[in-house]
Amino acid sequence: MFKRYAQGILVGSVAVALLLTGCASDPQAEAPAGEQQTNRASATELADMTTRGLEVDYDRLASPEAAVAASKLIVRGKLVDVVEGISYGGAAEQAGRANPYATFVIETNASLKGSEAKGTKVYAQVNKSSLTSAADLAKIGKGLDVVAVLDDISGWTPAPGVTVVRPAAMPATGPLYLAFPDGLWAQGVTDKAMVGMHARTGELAGAWGTPQTVDQYWTTLEKAAG
Amino acid sequence: MLRTRIAFIAVVVLVGSLLVPGQAMATTYPETRLPDNGNHDYCFTTGFANSRDPYTAHYAMRTLDSTTDMTSTYVGACNNNNTDIWWFALDLAGTVRGEWQCIITSSTRCNSADVRIDFDQIDIGDNDIADRDKTSVHEVGHSVGFGHHSPAAHDCALVSGELPSLDIKWRRYHAHDIAHINATF
């Protein structure tokens, strides 16, 4: 009797060990895990599509205070559209073989830095996959609640001889805002937590206090902004 | 006696599974798009060839070649859209240090990608050369199916941001990652 019990322990232990050490790869499935789509319109799906075939390595905003200091504008609002991003002119071939940006159009509800009035539209450049279109992102992203920590990249150019061309769908003058890779978070009614377009909530540990929702993220930034 | 032996083996299996570093945490694979085949050829754009450290790309490609079953081939100047990786040296906007972008797909796989490196951003902080190498290995890692799973899953080059230390593990793929590659190519 006890022999059978001990054998059960051994089998169970091996099973647990396999779970702990096992790989999740499925040799039959070649689609990346992040690209498996659902039919729900959500921030999760928007992030999946925004980063399909694109990964960025970036220096993090180390704390809410650092985010406030580094940014030129911080807004909270609704994502009302996604349109084409900036493109390159001049020696454009020096900067890459595809346009890596989309423009997220955010209708402002509140701002921390800067002085965007409620209802103002803010146009933010966001690193975007070349495998998905801005129109596709707009279809699934409109209406999401977003917080955007933005830098002003007016005058920036990626390489000598390359010019930056604004898309027709955004104002021809004024600041050219870029969302920090870990400074753009969205949440829809189907999302249990906020979703970063390039970052994960696990990155907001330590000084950030592990915010899980756009409400919490915004409150954290509000406190840092004083 | 038999009971004791079986119980002992069970404990050893469990404890061993927790202690073996190469198997500590599972990761999904692929996390990004897989390349089209097991040979990664790469080229330099003019800007990258004239950058402050084109060797970092060779370092990353040789790391892939020497630590996995994949191979790498340098083809010189970029002029063929089927070359697996086109290397660029740019001033990337904002806080971006490097990026991998699949440009041309072949079914579910990536036929050709851009890797763009921002040396000025990487060189903020210490250990610049090692940090460039970490970033290059990191971007090549994306091109063979890895996402940002470090340090959540294990310590390896797929960590974001500044090089954590000069420990070589931050410029290498983890044994778990290598097993995924070798099982695929």
Domain limits for position A88 = 40-225
Please give, rounded to a whole number of angstroms, the shortest distance from the CA of A71 to a CA of chain B: 10
* A172–chain B Cβ distance below 8 A for any pair: no
With a cut of 50, which residues of chain B have pLDDT below it? 12-23
State how far residue A131 is from chain B, nearest Cα, in angstroms: 8
Q: Is residue A6 part of a domain?
A: no
pLDDT score at B147 = 95
ipTM of the complex: 0.86
pLDDT of residue A115: 78
At residue B160, the pLDDT reads 94
Superfamily, domain B33-179: Collagenase (Catalytic Domain) (3.40.390.10)
- What is the DSSP code string of A7-27? HHHHHHHHHHHHHHH-----T
CA triple B67-A202-B22, angle to 5 deg: 30
Q: Which residues in chain B touch residue A7, judged by CB atoms under 8 angstroms apart?
A: 6
User: What is the Cα–Cα distance from B171 to B141, expressed in whole angstroms?
Assistant: 10
First to last CA, chain A: 68
**Domain annotation covers residue A21:** no
Joined tokens for residue A30:
């070649």
Count of alpha carbons within 13 angstroms of residue A161, beta-carbon side: 7
Is residue A13 one of the residues assigned to a domain? no
Tell me the nearest-neighbour CA distance from B87 into chain A, angstroms.
Answer: 9
Give the per-residue pLDDT at B15.
46
Tell which of B15, B110, B118, B160 to mutate to test the A interface (max A CBs under 10 Å): B160
What distance in Å separates the CA atoms of residue B61 and residue A198, rounded to the nearest whole number?
A: 25
Which segments within chain A are labelled E, that is strand?
Answer: 54-58, 73-84, 87-90, 101-111, 121-127, 145-152, 162-165, 177-187, 195-196
Residue labelled with tokens 């960025």: A56
Q: What is the structure's pLDDT at A4? A: 52
pLDDT digits (tens, 9 = 90+) for B110-161: 999 999 999 999 999 999 999 999 999 999 999 999 999 999 999 999 999 9
Kindly report the backbone phi and psi dihedral angles of residue A87, in degrees, each rounded to the nearest multiple of 5, phi listed first.
-130, 175
Report domain extents, chain B: 33-179
Residues 6+ apart with CB under 8 A from A82: A102, A103, A104, A105, A134, A135, A137, A138, A141, A142
pLDDT at residue A7 in the model:
55
Q: Is residue A19 part of a domain?
A: no
Residue A59 touches partner B, C-beta closer than 8 Å: yes
Neighbours of B156 (CB within 10 A): 25
Is A163 inside any structural domain?
Answer: yes
Q: What is the pLDDT of residues A124-146, one digit of tens each?
A: 999 999 999 999 999 999 999 99
The separation between the first and the last C-alpha atoms of chain B, rounded to the nearest angstrom, is: 46
Which residues face B105 on adjacent strands? Answer: B110
Cβ-based neighbour number of residue A52 at 10 Å: 21
Domain annotation covers residue A15: no
Answer whether residue A215 is part of any domain.
yes
Q: Is B6 on the interface with A (CB under 8 A)?
A: yes
Question: Domain total for chain A?
Answer: 1
Q: What is the pLDDT along chain A (226 residues), one digit of tens a residue?
A: 444 555 555 444 444 444 444 444 433 334 454 444 333 558 999 999 999 999 999 999 999 999 999 999 999 999 999 999 999 999 999 999 998 899 999 999 999 988 788 999 999 999 999 999 999 999 999 999 999 999 999 999 999 999 999 999 999 999 999 999 999 999 999 899 999 999 999 999 999 999 999 999 999 999 999 9
Q: Do B31 and A156 touch (CB under 8 A)?
A: no
pLDDT confidence of residue A2: 47
